[in-house]
Chains A and B, each alone.
Chain A
């Protein structure tokens, strides 16, 4: 329905949609997705490769003819990774999403056009969307669908080379995601799978397939698979899943996992483990519950239940033998009185582990006593920054859902941007406590936005705006880190962030960080156990059936309170907070100055009650995923709810190019130069943030005209 047809819809122009209800990262319920037949291993229909479609975009003839074979091979300082490939989901092991290519520039980005598009079969049992940015090695792209189908495509035209279905058991899985696959080339000759793709499944298995043939590497683990439920004890269905692929570094595949949110205390351990990338043999473990013990549990024991998990993409510094993992909270999220000393120490942290032994080199906790679900899902971004004496300091940027980015020395964990402990609101619900202070960076700008005021309340009419203002006044809100309460509290940033798993991108030469971040408060309310019991709320059963929708709240069994944690919306299903909801900011990392900041994304897919206004006014739409930045200073972002991919000038923030995606994207973009010398930008488009009209999956490639 188009907005200009009625007054109501005209009002809708400014508003956000009900689908926001389901934007929550890692707690998203995909209501329309049917469970697949478990374990099936049938080969699905081949994806259709469409010939390039001519699109009326940027009709100007290309004015510059950048030499097509100009693929640069300059290495990225401090990072052992090929400079001319996109070998990791985030470009390199540094997680920086930096494309060191020169073809697409701020001058010619307006000429970008659709180069090819792969349409995946509309079969939700097999497919279920794509979150991962594919990786590119040589002439091939590798990627995965959220149901763990692994595919290999010709990097020139998207034609399928092979596809592999690990036959994941999808029953009871509430959060089907596959954020990455990994590539590994054995350094010594091995009997099979000299080069291989490693990936993990939503039913918690790690596996390897031959990168050339797509055949399972049967010598890996047991017949090709490592069971990640080993040593975890009792695991209810869907309680442990791998939503991000392994990070392969120095010969090991490091894999964490997502643990079901908020069901009960003592959920399975959040242990991170490393397995030999060739054999699949266990190498080491890091369990936040026992941070100094790195082996398998002794006979008859298991990894410590309830320990913080690590579900995001990890980064690695190969030269220094470090892998950087990010942790969440000890389960459940909105209650912390029961957490052990180790759980508290490693909650919502970035942890530097020795990639050979799993030993903790350092760790930094981004939230003290986290009772806000501010788990760290953003991949750490590595960059070398000039120090005071001109020397390069190996740095790590840790973006957070709470909206701060911490700048640390990645070898020592020391703060490069000094960290202040600031007093925060006090007074948790009876039985729990609040930390007296929370860490804040001194110089880095905030990606949380200023604290909310009543005047920030929105709605679509004066009536629901009044409702929002009343709620704002009634809810407990004393700024960031207002504790959850029985009477209801406002949490801002909400559990979406700030900065979620899309993380930031970093221009490695110019030392510019690009952050896309969300402004969306949550209404958090603790529900006394008696009331929760009356409502019939209980932990999920062994088959993974939930008694309360994750979009509404969580039972938190074993604690005195259940919790509801909904986006703060008016009765007309528009946000109580005025736009923008999606922001894009560029920061000079040498001065911590904001180069520019702008809302990103239009109101096209937004409106009250889920109506799509169709209006292309800049709104600052809700978003998922992240950016990439090219060496030439072109920022690419496709995660806005409006379903457009955009190129933005890194130096000015000006929009250079935009193109409607065949479906919304909840994925990071990637870029590479193919063997023929052409730079492509590729993004998966299979349903925008919170909008699941259809699950049509597409992988879309853009390039400059020949």
Chain B
């Protein structure tokens, strides 16, 4: 098992870096979003924060589900952003640019190819 774990470390390095980044963002969004929800504000942030935590968890454990959760989060973010501010470009920018930049980076093959359940995943 231990040698397998060591191999996983090398193999999963890229998705695990991403997992840490997304999980950290998830912590901030969840904690801040929960406060915001408690103050009667938008629920988007806490839900998105939880999605980021889940995505980070599955990326860390090397499962493609982490990518799918993030993709779902992006879809939901897109719908929410347009619902909230319409097609106002400046208003959409902070809502969409950051998440989709991360999404695009995640789409680079070295991030998802090592994951279990990835399309064309080569069994080890």
Chain A positions within 8 Å of B, measured between CB atoms, are 7, 10-11, 13-14, 454-455, 458-467, 469-470, 472-474, 578-580, 619
The 3 A-B pairs with the shortest beta carbon distances in the complex, nearest first, are A473-B39, A14-B93, A461-B98
> Is B93 touching A13 in the complex (CB atoms < 8 A)?
yes
Task: Given the known inter-chain contacts A462-B95, A473-B36, please indicate yes or no for A619 contacting B28, CB distance below 8 A.
Answer: no
- Residues on A with C-beta less than 8 A from B33 are 466
CA distance A60 to B90 in the complex (A): 34
Residue B41 is within 8 A (CB to CB) of chain A in the complex: yes
Task: Given the known inter-chain contacts A473-B36, A578-B90, please indicate yes or no for A10 contacting B97, CB distance below 8 A.
Answer: yes
The residue in B29, B32, B48 that gathers the most chain A C-beta atoms within 10 A of its C-beta is: B32
The residue in A461, A462, A579 that gathers the most chain B C-beta atoms within 10 A of its C-beta is: A462
A/B interface sample: 9 pairs, CB < 8 A: A11-B98, A454-B42, A455-B84, A460-B98, A462-B25, A463-B28, A466-B33, A469-B41, A578-B85
> Is A466 touching B45 in the complex (CB atoms < 8 A)?
yes
- Residues on B with C-beta less than 8 A from A470 are 32, 35-36, 39, 41
> Is B29 touching A466 in the complex (CB atoms < 8 A)?
yes
- Residues on A with C-beta less than 8 A from B25 are 462-463
Task: Given the known inter-chain contacts A13-B93, A473-B41, please indicate yes or no for A463 contacting B29, CB distance below 8 A.
Answer: yes
Chain B positions within 8 Å of A, measured between CB atoms, are 25, 28-29, 32-33, 35-36, 39-42, 45, 48, 84-85, 88, 90-91, 93-95, 97-99, 101
Task: Given the known inter-chain contacts A11-B98, A455-B84, A462-B99, please indicate yes or no for A469 contacting B36, CB distance below 8 A.
Answer: yes
Task: Output the nearest chain B residue to A620 by Cβ-Cβ distance.
Answer: B90
> Is B84 touching A465 in the complex (CB atoms < 8 A)?
no
CA distance A175 to B111 in the complex (A): 56
> Is B39 touching A460 in the complex (CB atoms < 8 A)?
no
Task: Output the nearest chain B residue to A468 by Cβ-Cβ distance.
Answer: B94
Task: Given the known inter-chain contacts A7-B101, A463-B29, A470-B32, please indicate yes or no for A14 contacting B94, CB distance below 8 A.
Answer: yes
- Residues on B with C-beta less than 8 A from A579 are 90
> Is B32 touching A465 in the complex (CB atoms < 8 A)?
no
> Is A474 touching B98 in the complex (CB atoms < 8 A)?
no
- Residues on B with C-beta less than 8 A from A454 are 41-42
CA distance A472 to B35 in the complex (A): 12
CA distance A333 to B71 in the complex (A): 51
> Is B42 touching A469 in the complex (CB atoms < 8 A)?
yes
Question: Told that A455-B42, A461-B97, A464-B94 touch, could you supply 8 new A-B pairs with CB distance under 8 A?
Answer: A11-B97, A11-B101, A14-B97, A458-B91, A463-B25, A467-B32, A473-B36, A578-B90
> Is B95 touching A466 in the complex (CB atoms < 8 A)?
no
Task: Given the known inter-chain contacts A14-B90, A460-B94, A578-B90, please indicate yes or no for A466 contacting B32, CB distance below 8 A.
Answer: yes
Task: Output the nearest chain A residue to B84 by Cβ-Cβ distance.
Answer: A455
- Residues on B with C-beta less than 8 A from A14 are 90, 93-94, 97
> Is A459 touching B35 in the complex (CB atoms < 8 A)?
no
CA distance A11 to B46 in the complex (A): 23
- Residues on B with C-beta less than 8 A from A461 are 94, 97-98
Whole-angstrom distance between the Cβ of B18 and the nearest chain A Cβ: 15
CA distance A474 to B90 in the complex (A): 24
CA distance A554 to B40 in the complex (A): 33
CA distance A86 to B58 in the complex (A): 71
Partner of A455, one of B28, B32, B48, B85: B85
CA distance A472 to B101 in the complex (A): 27
CA distance A10 to B41 in the complex (A): 28
Task: Output the nearest chain A residue to B93 by Cβ-Cβ distance.
Answer: A14
- Residues on A with C-beta less than 8 A from B39 are 470, 473-474
> Is B90 touching A619 in the complex (CB atoms < 8 A)?
yes
- Residues on B with C-beta less than 8 A from A580 are 90
- Residues on B with C-beta less than 8 A from A10 are 97
CA distance A364 to B42 in the complex (A): 42
CA distance A13 to B32 in the complex (A): 25
Task: Output the nearest chain A residue to B52 by Cβ-Cβ distance.
Answer: A462
- Residues on A with C-beta less than 8 A from B94 are 11, 14, 458-462, 464-465
- Residues on A with C-beta less than 8 A from B95 are 462, 465
CA distance A465 to B84 in the complex (A): 14
Task: Output the nearest chain B residue to A463 by Cβ-Cβ distance.
Answer: B28
CA distance A579 to B88 in the complex (A): 10
- Residues on A with C-beta less than 8 A from B97 are 10-11, 14, 461
- Residues on B with C-beta less than 8 A from A13 are 93
- Residues on B with C-beta less than 8 A from A466 are 28-29, 32-33, 36, 45
